[in-house]
Structure 1
Amino acid sequence: MAWQRPALAVRALRIPQCLRQLEARHQPFSTNATSANDTHNAAPPIDLSQLLLRPARIVPASPSYFTGSPKFTDYELKLEHLLDKYKDLPKFGPRESPRVAWLVKPQFLEKINEDIAVSRYVRMMKGLKMLNKIRTEVVPQEVTDFIGEFSMPRNLYNWEFAQRTPDEHGRARGMGRRKTAHATAYLVEGDGQIIINGKNISEVFPRIHDRESAMWALKATNRLHKYNVFAVVRGGGVTGQAEAVTLAVAKAALIHEPGLKSALRRAGVIRTDPRQVERKKPGKIKARKMPAWVKR
């Protein structure tokens, strides 16, 4: 059998001998056999409590340290944690949550100094908007701090612009542009006088269409005989000057009566028209018109 082989039999006989040698090694030495020189040369006992226990390797603080974008991955993990933790809090309805001026992707990448895909930032924005729906009276501080990491330092939607008022003489100033024309209008309460460049409006704008266009802001709000208009207009042609005066008068009227804003918006006179005349191109009659093609 296998245990009857000569080599295995020799190993079996050696086992008790090895055990006896181990027992002899671990027996305590007698005090008589130990000399004085051996006592002085012996090493002091090791105090294990004084050893500084350190890990075999340095463990990074971030769980996503070895990823391609550790900072942004940490933001993603925290967003998932916050969404799961506060999913039961009361939330605003559709289009009721407070407006936040979010950082655009290049601004945030400059902040964390990492490059990520657009899809990852879009998913992050969706999660942040879900957090922003939590009602203001119950929103936790850590959610507010996390949203602040992705928003502008100053919320543009919370700015309150200073209300403009007429000066000490009761005048309100408005400025308007159209094409290459620039107009400045002063509005003061009166009986309906209209002076443009020191002349009557009929002398500056001979056409009825231009006169109605210049005073359309007052006519649309039924304020023609309530204010006097003193305007200075420069540059451009007659039509551009008339439309520049329209915008300037409308802005000056808003200083006197801010409540007219909705009516003036419907009349289309409080927004600058950015259209410009396209320049003439070489080889063409005008900007795009070309000469007639003749075969022979």
Structure 2
Amino acid sequence: MEKQRYKGILYIICSAFCFALMNMFVRAAGDLPSIQKSFFRNLVAFVFAMIILKKNDIPFRCKRENLKYLLIRSICGTLGILCNYYAVDHLVLSDASMLNKMSPFFAVIFSCLVLKEKVNVPQALFVIGAFLGSLLVIKPTFSNMDLFPSVIGLLGGLGAGIAYTYVRKATLHGEKGPFIVCFFSAFSCLVTLPFLIFDYHYMSLTQIGTLLAAGLAAAGGQFTITAAYSCAPAKEISVYDYSQIIFAAGLGFFVFGQIPDLLSWIGYAVICAMAVGMFFYNNRRIAA
């Protein structure tokens, strides 16, 4: 059992590194629309997901009653990716990653609203603390030129949080994880394709290669995080997902020469502290 937990930790750290790489490649692809970047990212993920479906003999169809859950998951997930990519292009890499990591806290809120899961006072305080920490990253003043992309980045975390809630809703109603990933990737490609056709921006071979690398990194992140949660429960390993901020800060510094300001570092510390606090609180509740 202990060996499985360590494997889960290793997988989730690998996943965090993959998603940090994805954001780096998205930024490195240059001045392209977020929708165009999203299309290529999801196209690679779709191909990988289809291979997994074929390998495991899972049909590409869902239960009729689950279609609405999959559509809400896909709409919110697509908006979340677009917002995240916009933030990645306009903010320090670690700031964009940190704002996207608000998604677990939004998931707590929407799990209460959608799944009717009870949120008690300590959990609510952790969510409020994380939001206050995000304000240190956003720095909401009219003189802050990064205010708009910071708010967009936070909305990306919101979209992802709602999407994760409906992933849980769909899995509770019998849908397989690989099918949910495949459905989402196909939906995102179809939704963004018209924009790509009518407003396609020329890409060099380097940019195409960089976006394909972003897609490969995203696929790696999705599959390793799935492997992580198959090895150990979320309550035991989820906190290690915040290692993405360390990877993002390192990649941002070495690749783009970015250095987050003091308020951002304090914001990171507050949000990570709230994540660790919720992690240990949930563990203690389950053990009691």
TM-score (norm 1): 0.20
Q: Which has the higher contact order (CA 8 A, sep 6+)?
A: 2
- Which has the larger share of helix? 2
Bigger Rg, which one: 1
